[in-house]
Chain A
Amino acid sequence: DIQMTQSPSSLSASVGDRVTITCRASQSISSHLNWYQQNPGKAPELLIYAASSLQSGVPSRFSGSGSGTDFTLTISSLQPEDFATYYCQQTYSTITFGQGTRLEIK
């Protein structure tokens, strides 16, 4: 299976900050990379698919980039509702997720 490694595992930031989360695949996955946001006790929600395509209804402050093995999720200006856990997911082969990045308020 393809291993997905996110960094950092946790992150403290303030409202208005620019934040970047990275996801590295153990082998090339082309652009078969998605990003999800999960709030406590809730189901994950799709933010970005195919590495850089913004899901309908997701605020434009979220963006994704990368291809091959290295990917990033960027939040340009953190809002209070963005403090959550973020997961990357590869769908190039048997689906695997990153271990998650917990974004906390500083």
Chain B
Amino acid sequence: EVQLVESGGGLVQPGGSLRLSCAASGFTFNTFWMYWVRQAPGKGLVWVSRINSDGSSTTYADSVKGRFTISRDNAKNTLYLQMNSLRAEDTAVYYCARTPLLGTIYYFDYWGQGTLVTVSS
């Protein structure tokens, strides 16, 4: 059974840092691109970051570029999101999701349960 389990969320002060983890199981982790998507309270879904299967290529939404870093440890089947210089507007539930690639077609077929990050003083 495919499982993605996020952890690391919590309350942090503005300007602080947090590292989220996403533990993967039930599939060959090192063959999938992985994503972080966030959802502010009562709002819609927003893509945050993406990493390819071997970790050599990453992309970020403009809103987090230079502050967040996505990485992965394929030996540990774990995806990470290091979040620095956090702002109130980063408050959200953060989901990890996997993407099977069918040529140029891709979609998020499995999501984690999400972890809540609250940035507040």
Contact = CB atoms under 8 A, between A and B. Distances in A.
Interface of A: 31-32, 34, 36, 38, 42-46, 49-50, 55, 87, 89, 91, 94-100
8 tightest A-B contacts by CB? Answer: A43-B111, A49-B107, A95-B47, A34-B107, A97-B45, A50-B105, A100-B44, A99-B44
Contacts of A100: 44-45
A44 B111 CA distance: 7
B56 interface: no
Interface of B: 35, 44-47, 50, 59, 61, 95, 102, 104-109, 111-114
Contacts, number: 52
Contacts of A38: 45
Nearest to B109: A46
Contacts of A43: 95, 111-114
A89 B46 CA distance: 10
Contacts of A50: 102, 105, 107
Give the secondary structure class of A's interface: loop
Contacts of A89: 45, 107-108
Contact of A91 (B59, B106, B109): B106
19 contacts: A31-B105, A32-B104, A38-B45, A44-B45, A44-B95, A46-B107, A46-B108, A49-B109, A50-B102, A87-B44, A87-B45, A89-B108, A91-B105, A91-B107, A95-B47, A96-B47, A97-B47, A98-B44, A99-B44
